[in-house]
Amino acid sequence: MTAKICVYPGTFDPVHFGHLDIVDRALNIFDTVVVALAENPKKKPLFTLKERIEMFEDAVSKHKGRVIVEGFSGLLVDFMKKYNTKIIVRGVRLFTDFEYELQIAMTNYKLDKVETFFMMPSQELIHISSTIVKDVAFHNGDVSSMVTPFVKSKLEEKVRQLREAKE
């Protein structure tokens, strides 16, 4: 029997509990989740690709062997060939997310017959986004209910560095 593998793509800048909820729930369906971190320079991420990979790897360390975290650039459908899968998992919070994600899903299907499974985060996490996490951190708010302790420390360090660079 072949392993069921899905790819969970995103910028994950930074990874938060909503993302991890999607990974956990995808592991109830798939044997392996490949977290594909997009380089995505046009989004101007706060963290480098290397930092985002490090944070996501730390956050999923309990799933040894079942979650692969890897960066990529270019078309997602091309990256997926490495893992011989045609299944994407995407988290959607709101209708506006779905509208955007549906366009991408239809394009990926048109490009290479890739199927996209949409999953909603758990109700207590549905409000969290990477943008909100960064906004709270930049305004000295407590993000410990949204991210892992390691991500929190990386956010605090990044905020401090950016503030020092402004002075």
Binding site: residue ranges?
11-12, 19, 43, 76, 90-93, 101, 125-131
Catalytic residue, candidates 19, 52, 86, 154? 19
166 flagged as catalytic = no
Q: Where do runs of H (alpha helix) occur along the chain?
A: 17-26, 49-59, 76-80, 95-112, 130-138, 149-166
Binding site for substrate: residue ranges?
11, 43, 76, 90
Backbone angles phi, psi at 86, to 5 degrees: -130, 35
Cis amide prior to 45 (ω within 30 degrees): no
Catalytic residue, candidates 16, 52, 130, 134? 130
Catalytic residue, candidates 43, 81, 82, 110? 43
Query: How far apart are alpha carbons 67 and 166 in whole angstroms?
Result: 38
Q: Please, which residues bridge with residue 10 across strands? A: 37
130 flagged as catalytic = yes
Catalytic residue, candidates 25, 63, 93, 152? 93
93 flagged as catalytic = yes
43 flagged as catalytic = yes
Catalytic residues, which ones? 19, 43, 93, 130
